[in-house]
Structure 1
Amino acid sequence: MSSCGTSSRFGKTDDAPKPQKTGEKIEDGKASWYGPNFDGKLTANGEIYDMYDLTAAHRTLPFNSVVKVKNLDNGKSVTVRINDRGPYAKNRIIDLSKKAADEIDMLGSGTAPVELILMEGDLKNSRVTDLKVPTYTVQLASYNHEHQARSHAQKIRGARVEKINMGDKIVYRVYHGIYTDKNNARKKQRQLKRQGFGGYVKQIEN
């Protein structure tokens, strides 16, 4: 059984094609599940993890994507919503909640070969280019007004400003770089800090 909860659980992975629409198989591999040790703790998207909800952790799928998980050993399926990041263990593609794992009879074995089918979510317009490889950036600042973000970005060579829709408001964030190796992102963050620019490394979500 593997565990999850943050976005720092990634190793080397293989390339995967980017799906274009719902109803298509997007990935296959090994599923695992996580439960009591994480029940009641925060998930990567800020929710409280409930092991009796039908949720799951995935490396890169945008939060709130809905996928059908089919157990290839017995043909049973369960539909889950992505609200966390994981799995930690390499060669595993999804971490299911305890209830979701029970629905497809994999609690006892701990893992099972599965295929994932996208039921709800927009990957065509997502910045996710490889389901198995998370991408990172250095976030340097966030502003309510674009001119403030532009002014900040002009001080940092290579910085960019992105408009982020938060649902009820728009914010303008200053980012630097795009990395598939989190260590390289951290190295750049430390370099920028020495130059007087605070920031932190984050996974690009969508």
Structure 2
Amino acid sequence: MAPYMNYLIRTLMPALLFCLAVAVAGCGAGTYNSGDRRSADKPYSGTEATQRPYRIAGKHYYPMASANGYVEKGRASWYGRKFHGRKTSNGEIYNMYAMTAAHKTLPMNTWVSVENLENGRQITVRINDRGPFVAGRIIDLSYNAAQRMGIVEPGTARVKVTALGKATAYSKKDHTPVNFTPVDYWKGNFTVQVGAFKVRTNADQYRIKLSRDYLNAHIVPYEDDRGRFYRVRIGKFNNLNDAVMFSERLMAGEGFGYAFAVAED
């Protein structure tokens, strides 16, 4: 993990200046001290937003670009009814009876195997939230997942978390995932976001201005509970590294107030 963290610190620090201006908070300390579970990525949401660096209580977190080979041991906690029906960090509605969990840095929608090292029980859950932000705790389970693991009463347990990847096939009997593929954001379709506007005309004017000097200047509409936004993006890349380097160049040498790499379909 050290090489990856060093890479992120070196390449994403300029973009982090913008990211840190965004108020962020994911899940807190588990059942008994869960804290505030607001979306960790406003004013933008979706997969690309949950891959951006963020800060909680003065500590920086850098979401991993790949879950391949991830294994970790530590303490698991859980969160339940207080957050039932609220939005998770990836925009889904938290369901305390679903098999989901929160993790500080794994890519969203990564399925992980969680083994209770104290009683041998094992479950499979999908990451759809951020947290827990308490020292020594590595994963925050939904109520249902915690109940199956036998940690509802004690509140925490020592566990082993192993990343499985993104589900590609499900059991016909109970719809549980049976096949997985690694979640990897290093390869794919990427661009760089440089602005977001509430007024479409302003977004159009900015896009036209950028198109004189940059390729693939385009607008991506996005709508949430606060209204509709028009996100302006430039550039087109087939790997995350090139997109990050481009965003760094825009901020360091070309006068952009903020720029960050995002994944596109």
TM over 0.5: yes
Deviation at 1:60, TM superposition (A): 1.3
Deviation at 1:63, TM superposition (A): 1.1
Q: Does 1:115 align with 2:131?
A: no
SS of 2:207's equivalent in the other structure is: helix
User: Can you list the C-alpha shifts for 1:41-72, whole angstroms capped at 9, x where unaligned?
Assistant: 00011111010000001111111110011010
Q: Out of 121, 125, 138, which is 2:184 matched to?
A: 125
What is the one-letter code of the residue matched to 1:140? V
SS of 2:81's equivalent in the other structure is: coil
Counterpart in the other structure of 2:147: 102
Deviation at 1:114, TM superposition (A): 0.7
Q: Out of 164, 178, 194, which is 1:140 matched to?
A: 194
* In structure 1, distance between residues paired with 2:156 and 2:212: 46
* In structure 2, distance between residues paired with 1:41 and 1:85: 13
Instruction: Give matches, 1:80-91, under 5 Å.
Output: 80-91=125-136
* In structure 2, distance between residues paired with 1:71 and 1:105: 8
Deviation at 1:140, TM superposition (A): 3.3
Mark the CA change 1:5 to 1:70 in structure 2 (over 3 Å): closer, same or farther: farther
* In structure 1, distance between residues paired with 2:196 and 2:106: 23
Q: Does 1:70 align with 2:110?
A: no
**Gaps in structure 2 of 5+ consecutive residues:** 1-28, 41-54, 167-180, 187-191, 198-202, 223-230, 235-243
SS of 1:103's equivalent in the other structure is: helix
Deviation at 1:20, TM superposition (A): 6.9
Counterpart in the other structure of 1:130: none
* In structure 2, distance between residues paired with 1:91 and 1:6: 23
Q: Out of 173, 196, 205, which is 2:233 matched to?
A: 173
Under a length normalisation based on structure 2, what TM-score does the superposition of the two structures give? 0.48
CA contact (8 A) 1:54 1:97 kept: yes
* Number of aligned residue pairs: 165
Counterpart in the other structure of 1:134: none
Counterpart in the other structure of 2:22: none
* In structure 1, distance between residues paired with 2:67 and 2:108: 17
CA contact (8 A) 1:10 1:59 kept: no
Mark the CA change 1:203 to 1:154 in structure 2 (over 3 Å): closer, same or farther: closer
CA contact (8 A) 2:67 2:107 kept: no
Rg: which structure is higher?
Answer: 2
Mark the CA change 1:196 to 1:67 in structure 2 (over 3 Å): closer, same or farther: closer
**Gaps in structure 1 of 5+ consecutive residues:** 128-137, 156-160, 178-187, 189-194
Deviation at 1:37, TM superposition (A): 1.1
Counterpart in the other structure of 2:104: 59
SS of 2:147's equivalent in the other structure is: helix
* In structure 2, distance between residues paired with 1:105 and 1:149: 58
Q: Does 1:40 align with 2:85?
A: yes
State the identity %: 36
CA contact (8 A) 1:9 1:86 kept: no
Under a length normalisation based on structure 1, what TM-score does the superposition of the two structures give? 0.59
Deviation at 1:6, TM superposition (A): 3.7
Deviation at 1:93, TM superposition (A): 0.8
CA contact (8 A) 1:141 1:149 kept: no
* In structure 2, distance between residues paired with 1:149 and 1:33: 48
SS of 1:37's equivalent in the other structure is: helix
Mark the CA change 1:5 to 1:119 in structure 2 (over 3 Å): closer, same or farther: farther
Deviation at 1:126, TM superposition (A): 3.0
SS of 1:50's equivalent in the other structure is: coil
